[in-house]
Amino acid sequence: MDPTTLIGPSSPLGYPAPYWFIVALKVLGFTLHMVPMHLWYTGILLAMLLYWRGGEEARRLSRRLTWPMPIVIALGINFGIVPLLFTQVAYYKVFYPATILMAWPWVSIIALLALAYSGVYIFVAGLRSEETPLARWRQAVGWITAALFLLIGFFFSNAFSLMTNVRAWPDLWLHKSIGGAPLGTALNTGDPTLWPRWLMMLALALTTTAAFIVVDAQWFASREGAEYRAVARRIAFGISTLGVLGFAITGSWYVFGTWPEDLRAEMLRSPWRVLMGLTAISPGVPWLLILWQWRRGGTRARAAATALAQSLVLAFNAISRQIVQNAELRPFLDVTTEPVHIQWSPLFLFLLLFTLGLGLIAWMLSKLQASAKTSESG
Amino acid sequence: MHYPWWYIPFLTSPMLIAIIAVLHVLIAHYAVGGGLFLAVETQYAYRQNHREYLAYLREHARFFILITVVYGAITGIGIWWTIGVASPLATQTLIHIFVFGWAMEYVFFVLEIVSAFIFFYFWGRLDPKTHMRVGWIYAGSAWMSLVIITGITAFMLNSGRWPEDRTFWAGFLNPQFVPQVLARTGGAFLLASLYVYLHATFKAKDPTLRDLIAARSARPALLGSILITLGGIGWYLTLPESSRAALAVASTLNILVVLLFAITIAVFFMLYLGPYRNPGWLSPGFALLFFTFGLAAITTGEYIREAVRKPYIIYNVVLGNQIYAEKVPELRRRGYLEGGTWTKAWVSHHYPQVVNNGRIDPARLLMLPEDDQVKLGEVLFLYHCNNCHAGQRGFSAVGQLLRGWTPEMVRTVVRHPERAHFFMPPWAGTPEEAELLTKYLLRIALPRPGGMYLGDGQ
């Protein structure tokens, strides 16, 4: 069966904004989403490992990683709405079929997330007292929560790799359907790109968590001693090294081991060659900064530079993923040629509200800062 | 028709939406009303310098965040997740019309999250004036997110002028918009008070404080009741004619409407006699009963709101079986199997002999062996009917509904379902395809139940 026949017609409504605008918001949203998502993706697992095997300072770090998780998850879920929304605007022809083919795992993400989020609260509640050790059952909940987040990530990788793996649709559909209606039980595990993609995100998440640890140690851990900060930087360096190595291995596996020849040739040709190069080497910059801080001591400026460098790593990654996504889809679909009917007034109203919203958030944060200064001076 | 149809045995995939949607509605209304409760009451407690009440409100804010931020956000996204796989064409259409509506709602979501966390986690660290302002930012953002999403969901029930001028505002400012905003705002007030009663009876140990909470929360609840009534009347008056007719004709809906009225009246009386006149009556049992009644009323109301939309997902735009209403004549001409992206691929793959010059030839369908015709009938059933009907067993199963029907009765209804019941979508295929579906339905129809004495022994 020709998989192209499974791609439906264009929406008569067209895009409500130019493609570049939609895709820019999608990429920006995904970059923002990756920050908190990475923290819960590997942060819980690392917190469990540090609590399980670490010494006193490592346990303190475990606590510091876990305490903000309820807020991090809430923000991450909300930031995730943006890329998903704009994916559905521009990639609806492939997004819906892919998620319908694997509807049960896809829908189960909601239940898994509810369980994992509850698990985080249970785990965090157990860490309130520094003197009392974490009860065993709470530790068990922590491990289960970490596993649930990994499973959620696996399902996400399945959905987004299946979205571009149109060639696999006929087989998955014909083998798992009744009367032409999918049972929704398929997974994209036959796709060689799935595994490196999933693991690459995991490795990248380690580098984000490492950056978070040094930022937290320098900016927010004012009540902790110098020894804690030194241990945090050392552990962050270990995590970052693991992440960078993992990223290099899985990235090479993904590009050189799973991409078709024509895709690789396209992506390694100008102008994308520069972007690919930056994406590949950029995780080295925060790694070097963390190494520097481990060896020479941390400062707020160095930690801020690490955060900035890691943000660029994530931005390069999101842009590259976008380019690759379009290139993978090109044999089946060109998302840039859809008709456009711009909704000017809702678009401007959104931008206005967005600006006002940012202003309000900035005002609230400024009040927090003022209250922190007052309590410090008091 | 542009997308594959997700088959869920017994339940049917749209029912999955209903389950998640009801869960979300019960939390989302509290997220709005509870935010207003916290803003108003924190302001009151600060002004009165009522420390015990402030301590209680802080405790309530913890409970509120846990319920709304965690489960509210997850079930909200859950609805979106589920509609995408259960009603993909309707979701695609809504997203293309209202993407900036959702984007605006997203701005308010982020404001909600940030202000909620600051409100709770920085309690006691912010000066009262700033703290109250943050509470009001939350309350305002939460209400705005209700307004925006209501514009979109109300559009699904009455698309107003949109089919003619197809602009965002024509869809958003639909006839159902204001009544539903009123009703939902009222629902948020009422439900929040019920959550407060439930929480306070367990957490506020001091009887004086509990009485204060009961008395103060009774006013927004009664205001909510008035708004629900006004919104409900407006909702009814702006219903499309077919929706009003559906309310009158469907026996399940009759029962649910009576149930809704009965529960709502009971809640009003309980509110007035209990927390408003006799705050001391509020006990955990009373609050629990009250809360259950409130949940039952809202769940029933939501079910009715959804059910009266049939046969549409988006009124006059997208039919329940995932086709544009305007495409029905074309599908009748070309054929349902030919018109659907996935149905055509399925037929072409399994029965290439019915394809002529790249198109499915309806006449050739009836030349296939009987069993193959039945198999194609099953495809038609799943893609045309499974949105509302399970097969032989399950939700509104046709196998049960057709007990004892003659082939001619089945054939007639298949060819003109919208004439048999105005809340069913029209047949959107060729006469040959209608015959295939008839054969399938007759194959799964159960026999007339035995043992029924009808006087003449027939």
* Residue A14 sits at the chain B interface (C-beta within 8 Å): yes
Taking CB atoms and an 8 Å limit, are B77 and A110 in contact across chains? Answer: yes
Can you give the CATH number for the domain in which B342 is found? 1.10.760
Residues B186 and B315 in one domain: yes
Taking CB atoms and an 8 Å limit, are B85 and A103 in contact across chains? Answer: yes
Can you give the CATH number for the domain in which B89 is found? 1.20.1630
Residues B311 and B369 in one domain: no
Concatenating the DSSP letter of every residue in B351-396 gives -GGGEETTEE-HHHHTTS-HHHHHHHHHHHHHHHTTTT--SSSSTT
Between CA A88 and CA A96 the distance in angstroms is 8
Give the per-residue pLDDT at A377: 67
Residues B174 and B270 in one domain: yes
Quick one: what percent of chain B has pLDDT higher than 90? 78
* Residue A174 sits at the chain B interface (C-beta within 8 Å): yes
Selected for mutation to probe chain B from A148, A361, A377 (highest B CB count within 10 Å) is A361
Residues of chain A found within 8 Å of residue B92, distances taken between Cβ atoms: 11, 88, 92, 96
pLDDT in tens, B205-244: 899 999 999 999 999 999 999 999 999 999 999 999 999 9
Q: Is residue B132 part of a domain?
A: yes
Q: What's phi and psi for B313, nearest 5 deg?
A: -95, -45
pLDDT in tens, B35-64: 999 999 999 999 999 999 999 999 999 999
User: Mean pLDDT, to the nearest integer, of B62-87?
Assistant: 91
The residue from B265, B290, B319 where one domain ends is B319
Residues B158 and B216 in one domain: yes
Residues B290 and B383 in one domain: no
Residues of chain A found within 8 Å of residue B93, distances taken between Cβ atoms: 11, 13
Per-residue confidence band for B69, with pLDDT thresholds at 50, 70 and 90: confident
Selected for mutation to probe chain B from A364, A366, A373 (highest B CB count within 10 Å) is A364
Give the per-residue pLDDT at A40: 94
* Residue A152 sits at the chain B interface (C-beta within 8 Å): no
pLDDT in tens, B433-444: 999 999 999 999
* Residue A343 sits at the chain B interface (C-beta within 8 Å): yes
Q: Is residue B3 part of a domain?
A: no
Residues B271 and B181 in one domain: yes
Residues B278 and B357 in one domain: no
Range of the domain at B423: 330-444
Selected for mutation to probe chain B from A25, A69, A82, A96 (highest B CB count within 10 Å) is A96
Taking CB atoms and an 8 Å limit, are A86 and B69 in contact across chains? Answer: no
Q: Is residue B152 part of a domain?
A: yes
Q: Is residue B454 part of a domain?
A: no
Residues B258 and B378 in one domain: no
The residue from B287, B319, B351 where one domain ends is B319
Residues B233 and B297 in one domain: yes
Residues of chain B found within 8 Å of residue A345, distances taken between Cβ atoms: 168-169
Give the per-residue pLDDT at B261: 84
Residues B340 and B298 in one domain: no
Give the per-residue pLDDT at A128: 76
Point out the residue among A97, A107, A346 whose CB comes nearest to the CB of B81: A107
pLDDT in tens, B283-336: 899 899 989 988 888 888 888 888 899 999 999 999 999 999 999 999 999 999
Residue B457 has pLDDT above 80, yes or no: no
Taking CB atoms and an 8 Å limit, are A9 and B167 in contact across chains? Answer: no
Q: Is residue B2 part of a domain?
A: no
Taking CB atoms and an 8 Å limit, are B134 and A367 in contact across chains? Answer: yes
Give the per-residue pLDDT at A378: 57
Residues B313 and B350 in one domain: no
The residue from B319, B353, B382 where one domain ends is B319
Give the per-residue pLDDT at B281: 83
**Total domains present in chain B:** 2
Kindly give the parts of chain A with pLDDT less than 50. Answer: none
Taking CB atoms and an 8 Å limit, are B118 and A364 in contact across chains? Answer: yes
Taking CB atoms and an 8 Å limit, are B6 and A181 in contact across chains? Answer: yes
Q: Is residue B76 part of a domain?
A: yes
**DSSP-assigned letter for residue B445:** P
Strand partners, B318: B314, B324
* Residue A92 sits at the chain B interface (C-beta within 8 Å): yes
Q: Is residue B232 part of a domain?
A: yes
Q: Is residue B4 part of a domain?
A: no
Residues of chain B found within 8 Å of residue A357, distances taken between Cβ atoms: 107-108, 110-111
Residues B260 and B168 in one domain: yes
